[in-house]
Amino acid sequence: MCGIIAAASTRNVGKLLVQGLHKMEYRGYDSAGIALHQHDSIAHLRTLGKVQLLEDKMIAEKPKSKLGIAHTRWATHGEPSESNAHPHKSQDKVYIVHNGIIENYVELRESLIEDGYEFSSQTDSELIAHLLDLYLNQGSSMLDAMFLAKAKLEGAYAIAAIDLADDQKLVVARNKSPLLIGLGTDEIFAASDPLAIGQLTNEFIFLEDGDVAEISAEAYEIRDKDQNTVTRDITNIDISNQATSKGDYKHFMEKEIYEQPQAVLNTVDGRVTSDDVLDNIFGLGSTELFAKVKRIQIVACGTSLHAGRVTANWLSAIAELPCQIDYASEYRYKNPHVDKNSLLITISQSGETADTLAALRYANEKDYLGSVTICNVPTSALARESDFALFTNAGPEIGVASTKAFTTQLAGLMLLTLALAKSRDLNPRLRGRIVKGLRSLPDVITKTLELKDEILKISPNLASKDNALFLGRGIFYPIAKEGALKLKEISYIHAEAYPAGELKHGPLALIDEDMPVVALAPESEIAEKLVSNLEEVKARGGTLYVFADPSVSIDVNEGALITMPQCDFLLTPIVYTIPLQILSYEVALLRGTDIDQPRNLAKSVTVE
Ligand code: M6R
């Protein structure tokens, strides 16, 4: 989604700001822009499309400036276009960039039009520039104007603003949209994503909701929602170039798929002994709290929700706990009943997904025992606002399609399942068996990645089709859903997932020679039933691509039967995810889509 970067420096900042925008391209965007203070004017460049086009414009125009703001926009209000791209301006004096949504924009826009302001975009953001201009004209400083504007704004926002009258300072504000300050030498930055300025500094200050900050090259001042000057902690994070570059891979998604043995190792390492999970790995006091848990509620979105669906099976089988799972975007609206001794679990790669965060905040008002998040970004809002957390340590995930984030979430969620079982003294032998399985998982994933050549043989067959079905049963149904999501997300092939037993209740009507069917057939008590479901597909002309345990036998005619490496049955969902990721990637590669930044999608969905 939208990305903000701003800088006040003693050197020229144009290039730094554009580099920062490049670093945020992975988030998904449709246009980009920059405003650079040039003492007696402000250079204002915007382009529809890639940041590279903005960079080309900068190279042609060579604006020089030591103070500026820049933005990548992901359209919410108003189509993707140059006039809707940020920065937006008022009277050629005040320039702003904004992430989030201003919910009361219609009424504010009308009142500003009555005040004589003309709008040149369809966005909900432009009014912020006019509001600031209004208060500046009434004699306020930019800092005070921002507080006055904030008092009017409803919704989520991260804002950065500059004023023609001041070539030294910029002002930023945060409410429910991520924003941080980065401290450099003789320069200070602000950004919505640490990756944007990770090349420039290792010292970050994460602003809190309600904060407004004034930033110059040498100093910054943060005021909280009550306008009191406050000190916020400085966090040191080393975001190395290696983590954010593709290396020898064609795409970040490819790199992230092949990083999974190490990523899963990073999740499990230091959290288990040889036969059990360690105490309090979710934070001090977590083991004690877990002992009281009688029921689980999971909320998440997209791929993270699929991880939650697998976990619901694990919780029942290993920790003997009932689990309710909801789309984070739906949870608040169903008037949920919270049983006594319920634990809330949120799952999120970014930790900034607006729906998941809103669900957590809603749940915090309910009678939960506590909240736990499984998250990849320790500095995220979800991490900060949850009672307990386990960080997946997967490293930055840049590809919009989640890969290593999903498998590491599953590893983390298995640790959570084991911790809940242990705190209630349940199934010690089973726990020991699974811990062994978790420790050998990186090797099994490495072997699974070696299936690439076999997958390459089948990818052209899917790449030439418009639809695909994914089948799995039990704990593999969420994996089939994840496989279908991956394929549709990056190749734009319409894909659906079904528990195989449901086929004859409707979807079987879709089967013909143009409907490839991808099935997951691990060794399990329902393998035989699954094979019968697959026979039904074959009998109707469907082509089968089956990922199966060596013990499963099925004749797939012109399709393919790919034999999977073996591991503990309860961990096989993690392993069977890998070939589906490779398949989607290779199919998308053949179809020539924008794999790392698929159309219409954003990496971090910070609007509800
Ligand atoms: O950062 P989160 O895990 O909270 O994101 C949730 C979804 O937006 C995300 O998983 C999305 O579905 C992925 N792009 C799927 O690959």
Q: Does residue 27 surpass a pLDDT of 80?
A: no
Q: What is the mean pLDDT of residues 2-24?
A: 95
536 pLDDT band, cuts 50/70/90, is confident
Q: What tens digit of pLDDT does each residue of 160-204 get?
A: 999 999 999 999 999 988 899 999 999 999 999 888 999 899 999
Q: What is the mean pLDDT of residues 97-115?
A: 94
- Cβ within 8 Å of residue 451, ≥6 positions away: 562, 564, 578, 579, 582
| Distance between Cα 605 and ligand 1 center (Å) | 8
- Cβ within 8 Å of residue 358, ≥6 positions away: 328, 332, 608
Candidate of 489, 605, 606 to mutate for ligand 1, largest count of ligand atoms within 8 Å of Cβ: 605
240 pLDDT band, cuts 50/70/90, is low
- Which contacts (CB < 8 Å, 24+ apart) does range 437-440 have? 437/567, 437/568, 437/570, 437/571, 438/268, 438/272, 438/411, 438/414, 438/571, 439/268, 439/272, 439/274, 440/567
The tokens describing 453, both together, are 């050549």
Per the listing, tokens 């993270």 go with 304
Instruction: Name the class of domain 3-239.
Output: alpha beta
Q: What is the mean pLDDT of residues 107-135?
A: 96
Spatial distance between the Cα atoms of 430 and 316, rounded to a whole number of angstroms? 13
Q: Does residue 450 surpass a pLDDT of 80?
A: yes
602 pLDDT band, cuts 50/70/90, is confident
Q: What is the mean pLDDT of residues 28-44?
A: 94
Domain definitions of the chain by residue range: 3-239, 248-448
pLDDT over 70 for what percent of the chain?
Answer: 99
Give the residue with greater pLDDT, 101 vs 225.
Answer: 225
Give the residue with greater pLDDT, 240 vs 556.
Answer: 556
Q: Take atom 11 of ligand 1 and give the residue whose Cα is closest.
A: 302
Query: 67-71, 213-217, 328-332: which has the minimum mean pLDDT?
Result: 328-332
Q: What is the mean pLDDT of residues 249-270?
A: 95
Q: Which one is the CATH code of 248-448: 3.40.50.300, 3.40.50.10490, 3.40.190.10, 3.40.50.360?
A: 3.40.50.10490
| Distance between Cα 354 and ligand 1 center (Å) | 11
What is the pLDDT, as a whole number, of residue 241? 57
Distances (CA, A) of 579 to 100, 403, 405, 499, 519: 36, 11, 15, 19, 11
What is the pLDDT, as a whole number, of residue 387? 95
Spatial distance between the Cα atoms of 276 and 202, rounded to a whole number of angstroms? 36
Q: What is the 8-class DSSP label of residue 213?
A: E
Reduce the secondary structure of 478-528 to three states and give it as a string. HHHHHHHHHHHHHHCCEEEEEEHHHHHHCHHHHCCCCCEEEEEECCCCCHH
Q: What is the mean pLDDT of residues 247-261?
A: 96
Q: Does residue 537 surpass a pLDDT of 60?
A: yes
What is the pLDDT, as a whole number, of residue 242? 54
Candidate of 306, 350, 407 to mutate for ligand 1, largest count of ligand atoms within 8 Å of Cβ: 350
Give the residue with greater pLDDT, 57 vs 539.
Answer: 57
Q: Decide: 491 in ligand 1 pocket, CB within 6 A.
A: no
334 is catalytic: no
Q: What is the mean pLDDT of residues 418-435?
A: 96
Tell me phi and psi for residue 231, to 5 degrees: -110, 125
Q: Decide: 84 in ligand 1 pocket, CB within 6 A.
A: no
Candidate of 193, 251, 252, 303 to mutate for ligand 1, largest count of ligand atoms within 8 Å of Cβ: 303
Of 150, 404, 486, 603, which one is the catalytic site residue? 603
Q: What is the 8-class DSSP label of residue 78?
A: S
In angstroms, the first-to-last Cα distance of the chain is 12
What is the pLDDT, as a whole number, of residue 243? 64
541 pLDDT band, cuts 50/70/90, is confident
Length in residues, the chain: 608
Q: What is the mean pLDDT of residues 364-387?
A: 92
Q: Does residue 473 surpass a pLDDT of 60?
A: yes
What is the pLDDT, as a whole number, of residue 92? 95
What is the pLDDT, as a whole number, of residue 526? 77
What is the pLDDT, as a whole number, of residue 178? 85
Question: What residue ranges in 86-135 does DSSP mark as E strands?
Answer: 88-90, 94-102
Torsion of CA 415, 420, 424, 425, to 10 degrees: -10
Contact between 332 and 359 under an 8 Å Cβ cutoff? The reply is yes
Q: Does residue 82 surpass a pLDDT of 90?
A: yes
**Domains 3-239 and 248-448 in one fold:** no
What H or E segment, with its residue span, contains residue 70? Answer: strand 67-73
For 578-591, the DSSP string reads HHHHHHHHHHHHHH
603 is catalytic: yes
What is the pLDDT, as a whole number, of residue 1? 72
| Distance between Cα 398 and ligand 1 center (Å) | 12
Query: 213-222, 223-232, 280-289: which has the minimum mean pLDDT?
Result: 280-289
Spatial distance between the Cα atoms of 297 and 46, rounded to a whole number of angstroms? 45
Q: Take atom 4 of ligand 1 and give the residue whose Cα is closest.
A: 348
Q: What is the mean pLDDT of residues 602-606?
A: 76
What H or E segment, with its residue span, contains residue 419? Answer: helix 404-423
Q: Does residue 156 surpass a pLDDT of 60?
A: yes
Reduce the secondary structure of 151-210 to three states and give it as a string. HHCCEEEEEEEEECCEEEEEEEEEEECCCEEEECCCEEEEECCHHHHCCCCCEEEECCCC
